[in-house]
Chain A
Amino acid sequence: MSTVSTRSPASTDPDSAPEGGAPQRTGRRRTVRDKQWPAYVFLSPWMIGAGVLTLAPMAVSLYLSFTDYNLFDPPEWVGLRNYTEMFTEDPRYWRSVGTTLLYVVVAVPLKLAFALGVAMLLKNLGRGRSFYRSAFYAPSLLGASMSIALVWKALFNDGGSVPEALGWIGIDTGGWVGNTDLAVFAVVLLTVWQFGAPMVIFLAGLQQISPDLYEAAALDGAGRWRQFVSITVPMLSPVVFFNLVLETIQSFQVFTPAFAISGGDGGPADSTNFYTLYLYERGFTASHMGYASAMAWMLLIAIAVITAILFRTSRSWVFYADEEGGR
């Protein structure tokens, strides 16, 4: 980071600091520091947004999670009842937690494995690399749309291309969309289809690994697998970590594909009732805003805990060659 560590005095009289002449300026890279108020002008939209649209709503939804609230009557304080109901009396809640966890645990590693594999393939492709990079990236932009979710539903439905193709090679799955065990995997595959975004990041990371390392390893007789394990993996681990955190956080919040594939109800038999779908149903369809707020806070806590665990474990497997985060 290229910040300058000298603190500016709490109050600076503009008249005593004539243009270009603050006395303690020594470094070449001094920035504007004479007055603080312009900074707050620049920040004012962000500060209003952070206060009014982030911090205050967080506090309000925490409060609402301890109430019964239907949007029309004033909220009624019920203490921990929403939470106890969620944990002890609502099997659908646990079903949605299970579905979402299954999805995250399968989809995120699979997507990242594809992204890394294809990035490795493209790295040494030579001609055509940037064409393939762009082409593989395209699904990442389209995959979140309703249109593609509808295509997915048709492809995995009874008689759709995927069950038919699997039938040709002797695997008879029937339609995935109507199958309580397979429906969630249709959503998983839609996520994996969008491996292009992490792939682009991996590819950029791979290109920053110095070729000298591979040459030295090859001279020492290291084979390709050994080079992958001993050079590529450690050198790329910060990028893997970045992608892992990002994809995990995003995956917990998946909504549109599950909504479209299940026709909006999380079916069949709640098998695609992802956490966000259930939250929407309880909050906006059934008008239990208090309960939905409690669910939102549990989601926040879950994401915070999982992110913290990832950061904790990262100490043992993420390798930073240069602590300055060099390029």
Chain B
Amino acid sequence: MNLAVKRRLPHVAAALGLLVLLYPLAWLLATSLKPADEVLTSLDLWPGKLEWSNYTTALEGVSGISVGRLLGNTVLIATGAVIGNVLSCSLAAYAFARLRFRMRGVMFGFMVATLMLPHHVVLIPQYIVFNQLGMVDTYWPLILPKFLATEAFFVFLIVQFMRGLPRELEESARIDGCGPFRTYWSITLPLSRPALITTAIFTFIWTWNDFFTQMIYLFAPEKFTITLALRSFVDTSSMSAYGPMFAMSVISVLPIVLFFFVFQRYLVQGMATSGLKG
């Protein structure tokens, strides 16, 4: 009897922990469906009456820009960032993992060091450059850097993965006359799929969640992302708009939740390997 209790205990603890952990998400969903008068008076998680109009209000968006447009803008930026990161980071990673060249150690060391670099040190000069190029209030400052492998985290992640790949295939490809570009494109890249998928998903989610860079570079409401719109929604509306505000919040985290459900295996494994193979 004592043993049975003991064996159950971890399961009970895990389940209770999960309830506490998921409470904020349940609260978000519940509040997004509550009528205005219930939001501030009732702590009940279950709304007394489902107020779907919160969502219709939220879908109208902010400053006349519909949520569809805002989501489209965000998807556009995130997709650009994903393509940029996967391409440029895998190119650099292949060189670091597989090719010999002068200054390789120095460059690799510099790349690893930039993992620790606070973004703020380069923020202002980058802003000045983009400002002078006339790119402020466009999506270029949010996408262009991703095509230049500025996110060392992903270069590092892919390098670690490629180093774990068997060399035999690449060797035989080379003996068959494959140059480094062919080898990279037809052998190494397909084999690195898990690392590339991890890179793509994290890039998408981080870009989606990003607020600081978007706030600095984007001003025109029609170019807003969903995060910027949410923030200006908060600024312009009163407490009575709590329901629609959280309805919009639900809409804005929905893509991340979907990504999580579809790709959780890659996310969890990517996290685990990036930490261990260092």
Contact = CB atoms under 8 A, between A and B. Distances in A.
A31 interface: yes
A: interface residue count bin: 35 or more
Contact of B252 (A1, A122, A146, A293): A146
B163 A148 contact: no
A152 B28 CA distance: 10
B9 to A, nearest CB: 10
Nearest to B123: A296
A7 B100 CA distance: 8
B121 A46 contact: no
Contacts of B264: 134, 137
Given A50-B110, A139-B21, A239-B275, A42 B91 contact: yes
A141 B201 CA distance: 11
B4 interface: no
Contacts of B22: 135
Interface stretch (B63-71, B75-83, B190-198, B242-250): B242-250
A133 B268 contact: yes
Nearest to A120: B10
B169 interface: no
B: interface residue count bin: 35 or more
A101 interface: no
B121 A300 contact: yes
Contacts of A1: 163
B177 A200 contact: no
A279 interface: yes
B180 interface: yes
A314 interface: no
Contacts of B110: 50
A208 B272 CA distance: 12
A171 interface: no
A180 interface: no
B207 to A, nearest CB: 11
Contacts of A33: 99-100
Contacts of B250: 147
A137 B268 contact: yes
**Which one of A31, A43, A135, A246 has the greatest number of beta carbons of chain B within 10 Å?**
A43
Given A38-B99, A46-B149, A57 B121 contact: yes
Contact of A36 (B102, B114, B126, B227): B102
B124 A38 contact: no
B122 A58 contact: yes
Given A31-B100, A141-B205, A146-B230, A49 B119 contact: no
A53 B180 contact: no
B128 A46 contact: no
Interface string A206-223: 001000000000000000
Contacts of A152: 24
Interface in A144-200: 144-148, 150-152, 154-155, 159, 161, 164, 193, 197-198, 200
Contact of A121 (B10, B125, B273): B10
A66 interface: no
A268 interface: no
Given A43-B92, A283-B124, A146 B184 contact: no
A105 interface: no
A8 B24 contact: no
A230 interface: no
Contacts of A10: 102
B141 to A, nearest CB: 10
Contacts of A276: 120, 212
Nearest to A164: B43
Interface of B: 10-11, 13-14, 17-18, 21-25, 27-28, 31, 40, 43, 87-89, 91-92, 94-95, 98-102, 104, 107, 110-111, 114, 116-126, 128-129, 131, 145, 147-150, 155, 163, 167, 170-171, 174-175, 177, 179-181, 183-184, 205-206, 208-209, 211-212, 216, 227, 230-231, 234, 242, 245-246, 249-250, 252-253, 256-257, 259-260, 264, 267-268, 271-278
The 6 nearest A-B residue pairs measured at CB:
A49-B148, A201-B275, A57-B125, A147-B249, A46-B92, A204-B272
Interface of A: 1-2, 4, 7-8, 10, 19-20, 29-33, 36, 38-43, 45-50, 52-54, 56-58, 60-61, 64, 71, 118, 121-122, 124-125, 128, 132-139, 141-142, 144-148, 150-152, 154-155, 159, 161, 164, 193, 197-198, 200-201, 203-205, 208, 239, 242-243, 246, 249, 252-253, 255-256, 259-260, 263, 276, 279-280, 283-284, 289, 292-293, 295-297, 299-300, 303-304, 307, 325, 327
